[in-house]
A and B are shown apart, each in its own frame.
Chain A
Amino acid sequence: MKCRVCRGPAVIDIRRHNANFCPEHFERYCRQQVERAISDFEMLSLDDRALVAVSGGKDSLAVWELLVELGYRADGLYVGLGIGDYSDASASHARAFAEHRSLELIEIDLRRVHGYDIPTAAAVTRRVPCSACGLSKRHLFDEATIDGGYDVLVTGHNLDDEAAVLYGNVLRWQTEYLGRQLPVLAAGSGFPRKIKPLVRLTERETAAYCVIRGIDYLVEECPMAGGNKHLAYKEALNEMERRSPGTKSDFYFGFLRRAAGRFASDDPERSDLGRCLSCGAPAAAELCAFCRLTDRVAGAEPVPVELLRTSR
């Protein structure tokens, strides 16, 4: 297998592009894909201050590295979710990455600052952990971006993430979500601008980028994510991709080109939102969803993740 660019020994094949790359030219390929995503969707400029949502996993560390490599100003934000050893390990990876590159990493510990953690929230609300986790992260990422004066919030969503979310939303015709499943969400009504520079790279590619760059990311999966539908959608899409390379890309980018605009009117008007009486965040009721969750679960007896896993 030879590199498409230099004909040297290749280390990875990208079947949807019918291309193989050596390490050097694979890195270049990744940079080009991110540059193209930023350019095509007018994501950010070199003058912008970006805040990257960092988990210690491959995608968030890859997007941070790529943005810095491309000359963008980007700090990181890590939220400690209190998921036992998993959170300890993810924090270590995020900190080590930032320290080695002299990058600024902001940390928010959910239990210390807001009085709860994800296993406890899941136990008290009796809902899947991903529900409280997603809600908490969305709120804290948005808040930190606005309060820190950043121009844009960057997330590590890749092509697989976007295709899987699209797949799930199409299966249930959740048109209110389809209208806003875009690589860029504009700022407004108390929400920051959000961008996804990795939408042109699969997660196999972001993982390969990390291996080649020597980025020490957390390989282990969240112990609470097992069995969720998102993973099942990814597995189904990858089976189709195996049989027909390019399926995920055609599905997602075809949606953006041909269908996303048709659902724009189904997206609830964000301007109708009021402000949370407690924290000032956008809210559909007196309190935002995050403050309602905090009111309900803060101060509850902590539930160790191991206990939650065995009781599920």
Chain B
Amino acid sequence: MRRRPIVPPIAGRSGHAGGVKVLLRNPTREVEIPGPISVVKLLNTLELNRESVLVIRSSTLVPGDALLADEDTVEIRPVISGGATGERGRG
């Protein structure tokens, strides 16, 4: 089973030391990863499964081979949802 990646949060905007700014959810937090870095490599670094997230920059999807620069801010949005779906047979 995939472990939750351990990534130190950045200190805040005033503590911006350079790097791709990454907004994560559940829980909501920001991290910085040194750029340039491809989206695929960024997700690997954060130990995130590409099947479970979208990477979004300025309201636009970013493909896996896109290169992110230090000035970039991206959101990594989880897409897995689940609860009571109103369907029988839930385990």
Among A59, A202, A212, A234, the one with the most B-chain Cβ atoms within 10 Å of its Cβ is: A234
CA A233 to CA B89, docked complex, whole Å: 13
List the A side residues contacting B59 at CB < 8 Å: 211, 214
Q: In this assembly, does B14 line the interface, its C-beta being within 8 Å of a C-beta of chain A?
A: no
B89 CB to closest chain A CB (Å) equals 3
Inter-chain contact total with CB atoms closer than 8 Å: 142
CA A156 to CA B51, docked complex, whole Å: 19
Q: In this assembly, does A151 line the interface, its C-beta being within 8 Å of a C-beta of chain B?
A: no
List the B side residues contacting A39 at CB < 8 Å: none
Which one of A11, A169, A241 lies within 8 Å of B61 (CB-CB)? A11
Question: Of all chain B residues, which has the CB nearest A217?
Answer: B81
CA A171 to CA B90, docked complex, whole Å: 11
CA A238 to CA B2, docked complex, whole Å: 10
In chain A, positions 137-167 with a C-beta closer than 8 Å to chain B are 137-138, 141, 155, 157, 160-161, 164-165, 167
Chain B positions near chain A (C-beta within 8 angstroms): 1-2, 25-26, 49-54, 56, 59-66, 77-91
Chain A positions near chain B (C-beta within 8 angstroms): 1, 9-13, 20, 23, 53, 57-59, 129-131, 133-134, 137-138, 141, 155, 157, 160-161, 164-165, 167-169, 171-172, 174, 177-178, 180-181, 202-204, 206-208, 211-212, 214, 219-222, 224-225, 228-236, 238-239, 241-242
